[in-house]
Structure 1
């Protein structure tokens, strides 16, 4: 009976994993669609909105880069959220050099709302243009075509949302290699399902939508009490296959500074993962089914290797080991193709090993994040 269950779990894991890797993730990895056009008919005004809390050094680098964008009509709104560093003085000085730079200062946050959502709502409310493009203070556009390409679906295709990708700087070391892997896997989730017309999340580091829509649906109604989710939960509530476009183009990406210590990274991921419990039931299954089948594959496969090894059934051992090798080759192929398509850079190293470690990462950190009550933005 035990051997039967191991084969059963292993077989179910293989089947579901094959569907995800070849069909769902393959949509992004081998996407043959055209890149977003470099020129567009409607050059409607765009407001770039950035919430910043004690981001003096990052803003000092980011603001000049934003004004190198190759787009005719845009301005930048910085929401200075309760900063105690030199952010305010920096913004006042830079507004003298950049007439299209504006800022609003928040001195306190009402007790019944969360800080990031309050800051973002205020920034969008006073935005000059209807097309809103979001990023974070520690992000940089990959190219000077970022505004043009990220906003093209909203401006020219009558889409409500345009969802883009944001990666992290590549640096030496295991932690950064893991960050590259986990970020790419997350990207494969929302980009692939978005391309299949089943969008369920986006990231605030690279997201575009219309101000009118944001205000008409009363923005974060029902979400004010949740720390985080100003991006993915908002998309989860209102995105559909008809009103959402995925911008799959390395020139439309942003790039962020990665965390450099395990403690900082775990705090960040706990915040990100904590909002997953608020997704719709269908969207929870999109992520959960992959992770569940991933666990079935590895636990069933390792269990079989131990069992048949102990009874010296080397033919069965070779079959199971061969299937594990085949899947390791397949996931490496998919991730390499996806990295090239999404970011145009080198893929993480030792993808097969990182995939195995993901087994513990998802179930342990996911459980901790699901139960966490001490989540904060800044």
Structure 2
């Protein structure tokens, strides 16, 4: 019995999406699984400035800032930029500055001109930095260990100007938290794998580092100062190269972060990220869009094939084959990137994630207004 034209087209779409899916799994993401992290330098080499921007973060700073200040690294300072806070952050930082000599506080007053979301605060922190190597994190983050700065210190290779770290979210109960952590995992697998492949395209401000001179020789955020987001990923997208960028994924190099606890707050966060993504280099936008679209079409085509008797068994066989191949990669990556609890939920979360990404992309078309905090 021959296939109809509709069945042939449907089977062709499903097979093509299957091939695209396996390309990303076997030729991109597998690189991260087999990547061997460089050993940390035996002794700290150069001084470091840690930069944290805070807007109404008194509660988080109380719990997490002491862990940053307690790093086991001989020569570092922590610059906290108080960006127009009104929740007691200013008073809290004044007290911290008395207790910790490493702490330097920079205040952005209400009404300051040329404010563009977080970028102005980051720029003020960089200007206040004493040292050349800058390590960035957020006020709602805490390092995995006291060796975080030792892991994130400037490598001896003089060509390295930028370092991409990893920041998982804290485990909390509920499906939303599982989805947030899995989306963070997928994003990290993608940008870290592409960096290893020689095509770094983004980083996250919760855990990354670069040279102060790299920032100023490229005029900071001037190219995208008109949008409130992108102080991290757009900067990396514009200035990271195959030769000046390295990654750190070791457990001690990770920084944990508090996740959003409401769907509305999470959608707002993803809207900011989506807005920045529109300004990525064209080749990056094409690759990333294709990845999401073809993965989504893969599931749609599989579901459609199940309604045709001639396609049902071949489609199931191909689907199971894909699942088996990917199950040798992603569960191991989940463990490597500190999410062992999500291993058994991988197939379900994989589907939910791509449904969410498509939904968020559509939503972002209609919701235009975005801001930092």
Q: Residue deviations 1:210-230, cap 9 Å, x none?
A: 111211211001211112000
CA distance in 2, matches of 1:339, 1:97: 39
- 1:211 partnered with 2:212: yes
1:258 aligns with 2:259: yes
Partner of 1:137: 139
- Of the structure 1 ranges 206-215 and 339-348, higher mean CA displacement relative to structure 2 is found in 339-348
Corresponding position of 2:369: 374
Q: Distance in 1 between matches of 2:18 and 2:349?
A: 18
Distance 2:300 2:339 in 1: 33
Aligned-partner Cα distance in 2 for 1:95–1:352:
48
Write the mapping of 1:122-271 to structure 2, written as runs, cut at 5 A. 122-153=124-155, 156-271=157-272
TM-score by length of structure 2 reads 0.94
Contact kept, 8 Å, 1:112 with 1:224, in 2: the verdict is no
| Alignment match of 2:59 (pick from 54, 57, 60) | 57
Report how far residue 370 of structure 1 moved: 4.6
Pair 1:37-2:32 in alignment: no
Q: Deviations over 1:45-90 (max 9, x none)?
A: 1010000001001111122111221111001000000000111111
Unaligned runs of 5+ in 1: none
Number of paired residues? 369
- 1:112 Cα deviation after fit: 4.6
**Which range moves more in the overlay, 290-299 or 120-129?**
290-299
Report the alpha carbon displacement of residue 359 of structure 1 after superposing the two structures with TM: 3.1
SS in structure 1 at match of 2:82:
strand
Task: Flag as ranges the 4+ runs of structure 1 deviating above 6 A.
Answer: none
Note the C-alpha offset of 1:274.
1.9
C-alpha distance in structure 1 between counterparts of 2:365 and 2:227, whole Å: 12
CA distance in 2 between counterparts of 1:260 and 1:352 reads: 23
Task: Check 1:300–1:353 CA distance in 2 against 1; reply closer, same or farther (3 A cut).
Answer: same
Kindly indicate whether residue 338 of structure 2 is the aligned counterpart of residue 338 of structure 1. Answer: no
After TM superposition, the structure 1 stretch with the greater mean CA deviation from structure 2, 272-281 or 362-371, is 362-371
Map of 1:9-24 to 2, 5 A cutoff?
9-24=13-28
Q: Is 1:163–1:245's contact at 8 Å kept on the other side of the alignment?
A: yes
Segments of 5+ residues of structure 2 without an aligned counterpart are none
Match in the other structure for 1:28 = 32
Contact map agreement 1:76 1:102 (CA 8 A) in 2:
yes
Query: What displacement does 1:110 show?
Result: 4.9
Shift of residue 332 of structure 1?
3.5
For 2:347, which of 352, 360, 372 is the aligned residue? 352
Q: Secondary structure at the match of 1:166?
A: coil
Determine the structure 1 residue equivalent to 2:316.
321
CA deviation after TM superposition for structure 1 residue 127, in Å: 0.7
Q: Compute the RMSD of aligned alpha carbons.
A: 1.7
Paired position in structure 2 for 1:107: 109
Q: Structure 1 residues 362, 82: CA separation in 2 closer, same or farther (over 3 Å shift)? A: same
In structure 2, C-alpha distance between the alignment counterparts of 1:270 and 1:344, rounded to whole Å: 24
